[in-house]
């Protein structure tokens, strides 16, 4: 063994001996009596796994045990479980220091806890903005216990080690999600001391246990009981990882809010974007069983968006990755008819296979189903009205994956829950409007505004000699709302506020038209007197002529082709009414 006076070293051995001379420096800073110095310093080092030999302190780097937790700093905004946790810490002999509301909560509950000021020797100031930003806090967290120089500096400055930090942060994301939040409220909910303590503790995870989540309290207590007051290295590292995930997400949320604040907004897509993703739900798998997947709460400049904010699953199996895509597709479309006559949307693989409006919800469902009587099996159905018993009985006749409604009338859930695998989803509030849409590619992220712009009747441009009739205009507007939600290339036939033929996702617009006509013929729906919608312009007159042959009387399309005049002439020659929207709706 090598014994080295302070300031010397030799890398040939794993043991450093720190001479008893540290004690005089410690005495100057703590006021300890000469007789008690050896015991005090012994305790100081023993807490960190060191050994004492006569008047020397020997630090064995090769055989350090997990550090015993003797002192804990606790300061939480979310006080879930904190009283019980700290009571158990106290029973394990841990000395607890706390701040503000947390200190009061613990003391009111009879848990022994002292103010952080007893460590810092400095009061909380500036409305609590400054309380833990102090060398005696961060020195106690960051000191490397195996480093003799760090230990001497701690002794010289009267800094005691802090072995545990329990902190969660001011609820910034919840605050800015409130519709009436002010800029000043948001700023006051930016936590400074909390992230600083968390990062210091997490950096020194060799010696410090740091907790940000009440879900981890039980595991830590269990390890302390089993380990004579210590936690395992694996747990400390896991908890440290959670800290840096939390603080990075927290900072991204702040940056996103400030980026979207008045005076900081930019036109178009910003040069940089801050997006935070936090797992909300586990998925059994992705689109296919061999793909891992999860569902994440998203926070960006527009605020936070989550499944739980909009929906509640009332019954059925876990929601899958594909279910989530279909729920998004079905609800995005049904919300086009919010506040309108009873409407029903049936979706399969994110494409609508039947949509209808009627005087009653059950009639709307029957008409939507009649568009395609095969695809709805295993499909997703969304309603714009509370689901009533008549409609529920009709829907119950086939197997459906998911039913989505803003409410369920009395007795409906009892009926529908008899099929255990069917998911029943309550839509609690409208989907967030606008904002940015993110699509991942293997080489980067595409970002665009959501396709949320609405075309009103007054925005339409009649380009043919014949004006559309009132009934044709109603069906054209109905078709245009649906058209934007179908995969391109899209051709859609509509009659009497019901889809008659859906041609989706074909490489050729002509093929989409053929499929739409074929689907209508399969269920004996007569296209005579129908209208047709196209998500993009007709590049040639042949697509419009095919629609005319099918019996169409009116057309809605964006316009904008270099051959618009040819298409318009063909429409006039067949006495069709045609309107341009001036807005394309490609969907990929």
Please list the active-site residues: 203, 349
- β pairing state of 71-75 and 51-53: unpaired
Q: What is the CA radius of gyration of the chain?
A: 34
Residues 353 and 375 sit within 8 Å (Cβ to Cβ)? yes
Report which of 577, 584, 509 is spatially closest to residue 543, judged by C-alpha positions. 509
Q: Is 486 exposed, middle or buried (0-12, 13-18, 19+ CB in 10 A)?
A: buried
CA pair distance 352, 362, nearest whole angstrom: 18
Round to whole Å and give the CA distance between 102 and 125.
Answer: 16
Are 407 and 387 in contact by the 8 Å Cβ rule? The answer is yes
DSSP conformational letter for 387: B
Specify whether the CB–CB gap between 145 and 49 falls below 8 A.
Answer: yes
DSSP state of 337: G
| DSSP β-ladder status, 531-534 and 491-494 | antiparallel
The phi, psi pair for 296, rounded to 5°, reads -120, 135
User: If you write DSSP's letter for every residue of 230-276 in order, what string do you get?
Assistant: B--HHHHHHHHHHHHHHHHHHHHHHHHHHHHSTTT--SSS-SS---E
On the question of a cis peptide bond just before residue 489, with omega within 30 degrees of 0, the verdict is: yes
E strands, 372-443, in order: 379-383, 400-405, 423-427, 436-441
The encoded tokens of residue 127 equal 């409305």
CB atoms within 10 A of CB 365: 27
- Spatial neighbors of 352 by CB under 8 A, at least 6 apart, are 329, 333, 345, 346, 482, 485, 486, 499, 502
Element (DSSP H or E) covering residue 16? strand 15-18
What whole-number distance in Å separates Cα of residue 343 and Cα of residue 422?
21
Q: Which letter does DSSP use for residue 341 in this model? A: S
Distance between CA atoms of residues 118 and 131, nearest Å: 11
């Amino acid at each position: 063994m090598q014994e080295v006076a302070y300031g010397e070293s030799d890398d040939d051995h794993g043991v450093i001996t720190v001479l008893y001379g540290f004690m005089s420096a410690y005495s100057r800073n703590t006021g300890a009596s000469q007789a008690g110095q050896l015991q005090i310093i012994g305790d100081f080092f023993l807490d960190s796994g060191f050994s004492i030999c006569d008047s020397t302190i020997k630090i064995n780097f090769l055989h350090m045990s997990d550090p015993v937790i003797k002192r804990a700093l606790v300061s939480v905004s979310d006080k879930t479980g904190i009283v019980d946790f700290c009571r158990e810490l106290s029973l394990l002999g841990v000395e607890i220091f706390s701040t503000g509301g947390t200190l009061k909560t613990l003391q009111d509950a009879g848990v022994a806890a002292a103010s952080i000021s007893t460590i810092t020797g400095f009061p909380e100031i500036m409305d609590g903005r400054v309380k833990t930003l102090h060398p005696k806090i961060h020195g106690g967290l960051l000191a490397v216990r195996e480093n003799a120089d760090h230990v001497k500096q701690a002794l010289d400055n009267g800094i005691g080690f802090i072995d545990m930090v329990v902190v969660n942060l001011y609820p910034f994301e919840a605050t800015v999600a409130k519709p009436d939040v002010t800029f000043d409220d948001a700023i006051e909910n930016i936590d400074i001391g909390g992230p600083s303590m968390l990062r210091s503790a997490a950096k020194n995870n060799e010696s410090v246990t740091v907790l940000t989540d009440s879900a981890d309290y039980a595991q830590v207590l269990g390890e302390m009981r089993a380990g004579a007051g210590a936690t395992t290295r694996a747990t400390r590292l896991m908890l440290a990882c959670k800290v840096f995930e939390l603080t990075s997400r927290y900072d991204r949320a702040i940056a996103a809010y400030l980026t979207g604040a008045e005076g900081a907004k930019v036109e178009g897509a910003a040069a940089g974007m801050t997006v935070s993703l936090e797992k909300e739900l586990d998925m059994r798998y992705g689109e296919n069983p061999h793909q891992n997947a999860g569902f994440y709460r998203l926070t960006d400049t527009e605020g936070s968006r989550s499944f739980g904010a909009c929906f509640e699953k009332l019954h059925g199996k876990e929601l899958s990755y594909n279910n989530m895509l279909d729920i998004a597709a079905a609800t995005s479309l049904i919300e086009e008819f919010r506040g309108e006559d009873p409407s029903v949307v049936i979706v399969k693989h994110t494409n609508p296979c039947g949509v209808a409006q009627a005087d009653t919800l059950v009639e709307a469902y029957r008409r939507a189903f009649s568009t395609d009587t095969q695809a709805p099996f295993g499909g997703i159905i969304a309603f714009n009205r509370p689901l009533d018993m008549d409609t529920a009985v009709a829907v119950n006749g086939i197997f459906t994956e998911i039913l989505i409604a803003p409410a369920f009338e009395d007795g409906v859930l009892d009926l529908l829950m008899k099929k255990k695998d069917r998911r029943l989803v309550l839509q609690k509030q409208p989907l967030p409007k606008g904002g940015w849409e993110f699509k991942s590619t293997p080489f980067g992220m595409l970002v665009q505004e959501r396709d949320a712009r609405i075309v009103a009747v007054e925005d339409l441009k009649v380009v043919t000699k014949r004006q559309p009739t009132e009934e044709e205009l109603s069906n054209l507007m109905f078709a245009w709302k649906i058209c934007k939600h179908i995969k391109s290339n899209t051709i859609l036939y509509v009659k009497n506020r019901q889809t008659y033929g859906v041609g989706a996702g074909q490489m050729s617009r002509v093929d989409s038209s053929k499929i739409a006509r074929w689907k209508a013929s399969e269920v004996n729906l007569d296209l005579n007197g129908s209208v047709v919608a196209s998500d993009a312009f007709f590049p040639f007159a042949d697509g419009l002529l095919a629609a005319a042959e099918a019996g169409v009387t009116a057309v809605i399309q964006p316009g904008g082709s270099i051959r618009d005049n040819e298409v318009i002439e063909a429409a006039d020659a067949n006495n069709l009414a045609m309107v341009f929207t001036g807005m394309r709706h490609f969907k990929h």
